[in-house]
Amino acid sequence: MKPDPHNKGMSVIVKTVARWLKGLILLYGIYLVLYGHMTPGGGFAGGVVIACAFVLMTLAAGEDQGLSFFPKAVSSTVDSIGLLVFLAVAWVGTWWASGAFFKNVIDTPQQSYFSLFSGGTIPISNIGLGLKVGSSLFLVFTVLAAFRLIKNIDSKDEDTK
Amino acid sequence: MIEILTALILLSIIAAIVALETDDLLHAVIALGAVGFLLAIAFVFLAAPDIAIVQIGVEVISLVILVRATSGRNDAPANPRRRHLGKVIAVTLVGVIGLFGVRSFTQFPEFGSPVMDRFADAPSVTYLLEGLFQTGAPNIVTAVLLDFRAYDTLGEATVLFCAVLGALAILRRKARVSNDKEEDGIK
Amino acid sequence: MIYSLCLLLILVGLYGVIVSRHTLKIVIGLVIMEHGVHLLLILIGYRAGGQPPIVDPGTLPALFAGQSVDPLPQALVLTSIVIGLGVLALLVALCVRLYERYGTFDVTEIKRLRG
């Protein structure tokens, strides 16, 4: 069977184009997360697009490059931090004066209704969710893509490790 | 409008039947991708832009995962023994469920008049009228997800966390002591 | 009726789950069922000639509530799609592990090999 090309990445054209594109895709994902309360988007959509940018980088350059940019320990930490930010926003609502769980504690004055810094605690929750979803999906893709079967490991695969 | 949606759903059904009946796994995965993208177009026509963005992103990642899992492992069941009785029973069962479903759809409101028009105190009416003033966010879907119904979002984030944790735990591999090299996977 | 067409998509997925002998075909059937269910939920909340539920700077709230689609099914389907991806990753990991353990993707063969 032909040697597994996934460890070395793809050709030079694909690598160059991916190097230019991954910044733009990441920027689009961050835009979706930050402006989630004004235009269609939000934490989940932005997180999925951020994960797509990292998946593109891993596919084009090989798993070694992808893992060296964003190692497994870092991405699990970012995953947990995202969920903890979301929980912290919920608990702040409880501790505020006579608040309920998840109460929106930052009031928005009338004149700042359609600007970036409106919406109370919603942008903070969006950032936490975007981090969480992005790093979760990237982590699960890396582990699935780097999986090697025990049965099919022969001498050719041992050299490409 | 209804014609466009009907055509899209019919194409999705044809692609789904192709995905399930073909023998080559790569063809099946590509047909599944066709179902997902047609659905994203249908979501745009149904005035749901958030969901179209998420559907396209998720479809791309799931296609990559499935192609990666099926490439090089074309080990299709090579048993040509056709079990007709099983298929007939399955079609009968599915047909019975379909009949019950179609019968219950006659009690739904017409396509195009949502439920919130019939009840004056429906929660969606409150969300649409008070959403901007109580939360300060013009995107009512985000306001519902992260302010009015934020507890459900916490539950969904937990479910996603557990699913990813389960996938990582299944693919864990201990270091083999009989070989000299380390295996891939989570250490 | 358009609801019945959507139900037909769900039933095609269900048929695939029941009848398939290849584990990955079962996974594909589950994904088709999820797509059908999401589409059905969004179809229920649609208003004819409706606008997306995003407030424009110039509209009155009552007018906006009279011409917008239902935002509640959209919020629920949004998270459900992302969770579907997580569950798909879990199922594919299971299938790959089964292939490694038993050497085949066939469900009937896996039942026969014990231990």
Tens-digit pLDDT profile for residues A69-107? 778 888 889 999 999 998 888 888 777 755 666 666 666
* Residue-wise pLDDT tens digits, A115-160: 777 777 888 889 999 999 999 999 888 888 766 544 344 333 333 3
pLDDT of res. B72: 65
Chain C CB contacts of B39 under 8 Å are 35, 38-39
Give chain A as a 3 state SS string. Answer: CCCCHHHCCCCHHHHHHHHHHHHHHHHHHHHHHHCCCCCCCCHHHHHHHHHHHHHHHHHHHCHHHHHHHCCHHHHHHHHHHHHHHHHHHHHHHHHCCCCCCCCCCCCCCHHHCCCCCCCCCHHHHHHHHHHHHHHHHHHHHHHHHCCCCCCCCCHHHHHCC
**Chain A neighbours, 3+ Cβ pairs < 8 A:** B, C
φ/ψ of residue A45, rounded to 5: -65, -45
Tokens matching residue B126: 């409150």
pLDDT of res. C1: 81
Higher-scoring residue by pLDDT: A115, A16: A16
Tokens matching residue A151: 């049965």
Percent of chain A with pLDDT over 90: 25
> Which residues 85-114 of chain C have a CB within 8 Å of chain A?
85-86, 89, 92-93, 96, 99-100, 103
* Residue-wise pLDDT tens digits, C73-114: 999 999 999 999 999 999 999 988 888 888 888 888 777 666
Tokens matching residue A85: 């930010």
Whether B165 contacts chain A with CB within 8 A:
no
User: For the whole model, what pTM was predicted?
Assistant: 0.87
Q: How far apart are CA B111 and CA C2, in angstroms?
A: 8
* Residue-wise pLDDT tens digits, A32-47: 999 988 889 889 999 9
Q: Which of A88-102, A132-146, C14-28, C55-69 has the lowest mean pLDDT?
A: A88-102
pLDDT of res. A137: 92
Higher-scoring residue by pLDDT: A63, B40: B40
**Who among B58, B157, B171 is closest to A147 (CB)?**
B171
- Cβ–Cβ of C31/B29 closer than 8 Å? no
Q: Show me where the domains of chain C are located.
A: 2-112
Q: How far apart are CA A22 and CA A9, in angstroms?
A: 15
How high does pLDDT run on average in chain A? 78
Percent of chain C with pLDDT over 70: 97
pLDDT of res. C31: 95
pLDDT of res. B11: 95
Q: How far apart are CA A91 and CA A103, in angstroms?
A: 9
What amino acid is encoded at C57 in this protein? P
Q: Are C103 and A149 in contact (CB under 8 A)?
A: no
- Cβ–Cβ of C100/A149 closer than 8 Å? yes
Indicate whether B38 pLDDT > 60.
Answer: yes
Q: Are A62 and A18 in contact (CB under 8 A)?
A: no
Which of C14, C76, C78, C112 should we substitute to test contact with B (largest number of B Cβ atoms within 10 Å)? C78
pLDDT of res. B73: 65
CA B156 and chain centroid, separation: 15
* Total tally of structural domains belonging to chain A: 1
Indicate whether C6 pLDDT > 80.
Answer: yes
B88 three-class SS: helix
**Who among A118, A141, A145 is closest to B137 (CB)?**
A118
How high does pLDDT run on average in chain B? 84
DSSP C45: T
* Residue-wise pLDDT tens digits, B45-100: 999 999 999 999 999 999 998 888 777 666 655 555 567 888 889 999 999 999 99
CATH number for the segment(s) C2-112: 1.10.287.3510
Domain hosting A115: range is: 5-159
- Cα separations in angstroms, A131 against A33, A48, A106: 9, 10, 22
pLDDT of res. B105: 87
pLDDT of res. A107: 66
B75 three-class SS: coil
Q: Are C14 and C33 in contact (CB under 8 A)?
A: yes
Interface confidence, given as ipTM, is 0.90
Higher-scoring residue by pLDDT: B61, A10: B61
CA-nearest of A156, A146, A141 to A50 is A141
Minimal-distance CA residue of chain B relative to C109: B77
Give B114-169 as a 3 state SS string. Answer: CHHHCCCCCHHHHHHHHHHHHHCCCEHHHHHHHHHCHHHHHHHHHHHHHHHHHHHH
Residues 6+ apart with CB under 8 A from C6: B9, C36, C39, C40, C43
Residues 6+ apart with CB under 8 A from B150: A90, A102, A125
* Residue-wise pLDDT tens digits, B125-170: 888 888 888 878 888 898 888 888 888 899 999 999 999 999 988 8
CA-nearest of B149, B135, C112 to A104 is B135
Chain A CB contacts of C52 under 8 Å are 40
Q: What angle do CA B125, C61, C53 make, to 5 degrees?
A: 65
Q: What angle do CA C105, C82, A103 make, to 5 degrees?
A: 150
Tokens matching residue A87: 């929980």
Q: Are C107 and C19 in contact (CB under 8 A)?
A: no
